[in-house]
């Protein structure tokens, strides 16, 4: 997807020092989250990025490719963390906690609420398949950790976790919902998100999975 | 906002029998959730509704008014329920459970995922103030019930609920996040939502608030 970079842009060097490609991504994030994806033209995108439209098309096939790269950035770091956590042997509850906290930190960080773009109907387009594939893999990692948590808690008298594939799928949906709810919270009341939010959401994730407080342990 | 109805539309009677106004709202819901709000013109709106643009403008000042009315419909029934529940004297946990379950049912019902429109940047416009005001009132009702749950559970040894205004605000944010996460779940995996979802989310809400299982009681 991304084309080779390197050709100097028509409008000169990047005024921010981040480079042309980053300037375009930054402009896309800002415009898609304030004006709206559907209402943003490549003309506006180029203008806010401080480049000519020809330069924009040299780096991206269109605004959809800008959006795709922004979306991938909201998943890839959590996916990398998930792969690493799945390979470790700490208790599942501690690893699920770490994954959820890191994911919340990612979704609530950055200058723009990029997770809000998940709800765009435009994402049904085939061109966003790479985003959906990575997000699915991340969901599967959550599902695996939820299943391990339930298995670990099965012999604990304080556990309220229920087994069964149906229950596991539903619990995973609640976990994903809790993590991604920071996207909605950030839209509704951004001031209520702070550095304690990731830990609080991760605690809530373990409560929803049914891990008893005493078994929640420490972050990985 | 809504103008007086009654003038027969240029294109004849409503083919669906729902009436012109409802046909326009229905077309708006479908287009905003599939094509996108920013990408939907009043021309397309009128065409899908089966009316002329002049007729659309007779009923609505523009597509923003169609959106506003759709958004109000995603809050008003839950707000009515919240007001009624706040006036009752059953245990707060049971009332919070009932509010959350009903809210989830509303957000996951209907033909289109209207909650997805909550994330539109266009909603920052002053013209959507009536929606934000009602949503804030609903949030305050949740906050009041969460505070009552925590107070009721304070003398229960099994309770994990913590008091203090900061904690209450954070718990309320988690509760709202859990309820509204069905919007994200519906976008991601609509097949995973079914008639059991409202009860499961409401159970998770009580878990997050820290109401011990034994005190959760029955739905109001």
The CATH number for A161's domain is 1.10.357.10
Q: Which two tokens stand for residue B118?
A: 């909550």
Token code pair at residue A219: 């972050």
> By a Cβ cutoff of 8 Å, what residues of chain B touch chain A?
33-40, 116, 118-122, 135, 139, 160, 169-170, 173-174, 176-178, 180-185, 187-189, 192, 196-197, 200-201, 204, 207-208, 210, 213
> Taking the alpha carbons of B106, B109, B112, B115 in that order, is the dihedral positive or negative?
positive
Burial of A25 by CB count in 10 Å (0-12 exposed, 13-18 middle, 19+ buried)?
buried
Looking at the partner chain, which of A178, A188, A207 has a beta carbon nearest the beta carbon of B181? Answer: A178
Say if A48 falls within a structural domain.
yes
The answer to which of A33-47, B70-84, B198-212 has the lowest mean pLDDT is B198-212
Return the pLDDT at B6.
45
Counting the structural domains of chain B, the total is 2
Q: Which domain holds residue A134?
A: 74-215
Report the pLDDT averaged over residues A128-144: 97
Examine the domain organization and report whether A42 and A124 are in the same domain.
no
Taking contacts as CB-CB distances below 8 angstroms, the residues of chain A near B119 are 116, 119, 183-184, 187
Question: Nearest-CA distance from B117 to chain A in Å?
Answer: 8
Q: Does residue A220 lie in a domain region?
A: no
Last residue of a domain, one of B70, B90, B107: B70
The CA distance from A82 to A97, in Å, is 11
CATH number for the domain spanning A58: value is: 1.10.10.60
Chosen from B137, B159, B208 to mutate, greatest number of chain A CBs within 10 A:
B208
Q: Is residue B12 one of the residues assigned to a domain?
A: no
Residue B110 to residue B130: CA distance in whole angstroms: 22
Q: Are residues A56 and A146 in the same domain?
A: no
Q: With contacts defined as CB-CB under 8 Å, which chain A residues touch B181?
A: 174, 176-178, 180-181, 184
- A20-24, B8-12, B116-120: lowest mean pLDDT where? B8-12
**Comparing C-alpha atoms, which of A125, A2, A110 is closest to residue A56?**
A2
Q: How far apart are the first and last CA of chain B?
A: 35
Residue B7 pLDDT exceeds 70: no
Find chain B residues with C-beta within 8 A of A184's C-beta. 118-119, 176-177, 180-181, 183-184
DSSP state of A191: G
pLDDT at position A211 over 90:
no
Longest dimension (CA), chain A: 68
How close is the nearest chain B Cα to the Cα of A6, in Å?
33
- pLDDT band for A116, please (50, 70, 90 cuts): very high
Question: In angstroms, rounded to a whole number, what is the distance separating the alpha carbons of residues A4 and A8?
Answer: 12
Q: CA of B35, closest CA in chain A: separation in Å?
A: 6
Q: For residue A82, with 0-12 CB atoms within 10 Å meaning exposed, 13-18 middle and 19 or more buried, which class applies?
A: buried
**DSSP class of A128:** G
Asked if residue B198 and residue B151 are part of one domain, the reply reads yes
Phi, psi of A48 (to 5 degrees): -65, -35
* Residue after which a domain boundary falls, among A41, A70, A99: A70
- Residues A89, A146, single domain; the answer is yes
Tell me whether residue B34 is in a domain: yes
The CA distance from A70 to A1, in Å, is 13
Determine if residue B173 is left, alpha or beta; phi over 0 gives left, psi from -120 to 50 gives alpha, anything else beta: alpha
Q: What whole-number distance in Å separates Cα of residue B51 and Cα of residue B147?
A: 49
**How many CA within 13 A on the CB side of residue A32?**
29
Q: B115 with B46, same domain?
A: no
Q: Please report whether residue A9 resides in a domain.
A: no
Q: What is the mean pLDDT of residues A81-96?
A: 96
> Do the Cβ atoms of A39 and B38 come within 8 Å?
yes
The reply to whether B123 and B60 lie within a common domain is no
Q: What is the pLDDT of residue B134?
A: 97
Q: Does pLDDT of B163 surpass 80?
A: no
Are A98 and A36 members of one domain?
no
């Amino acid at each position: 997807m991304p084309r080779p970079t390197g050709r100097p842009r028509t409008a000169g060097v990047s005024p921010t020092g981040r480079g042309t490609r980053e300037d375009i991504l930054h402009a896309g994030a800002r415009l898609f989250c304030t004006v709206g994806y559907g209402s943003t033209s490549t003309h506006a995108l180029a203008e806010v990025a401080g480049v000519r439209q020809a330069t924009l098309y040299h780096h991206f096939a269109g605004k959809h490719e800008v959006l795709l790269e922004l979306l991938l950035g909201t998943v890839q770091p959590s996916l990398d963390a998930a792969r690493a956590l799945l390979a470790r042997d700490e208790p599942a509850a501690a690893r699920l906690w770490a994954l959820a906290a890191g994911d919340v930190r990612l979704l609530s960080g950055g200058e723009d609420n990029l997770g809000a773009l998940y709800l765009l109907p435009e994402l049904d387009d085939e061109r966003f398949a790479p985003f959906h594939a990575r997000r699915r893999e991340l969901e599967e990692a959550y599902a695996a950790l939820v299943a391990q948590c339930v298995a670990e808690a099965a012999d604990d008298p304080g556990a309220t976790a229920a087994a069964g594939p149906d229950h596991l799928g539903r619990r995973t949906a609640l976990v994903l919902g809790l993590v991604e709810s920071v996207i909605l919270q950030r839209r509704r009341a951004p001031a209520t998100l702070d550095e304690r939010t990731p830990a609080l959401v991760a605690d809530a994730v373990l409560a929803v999975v049914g891990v008893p407080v005493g078994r929640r342990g420490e972050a990985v």
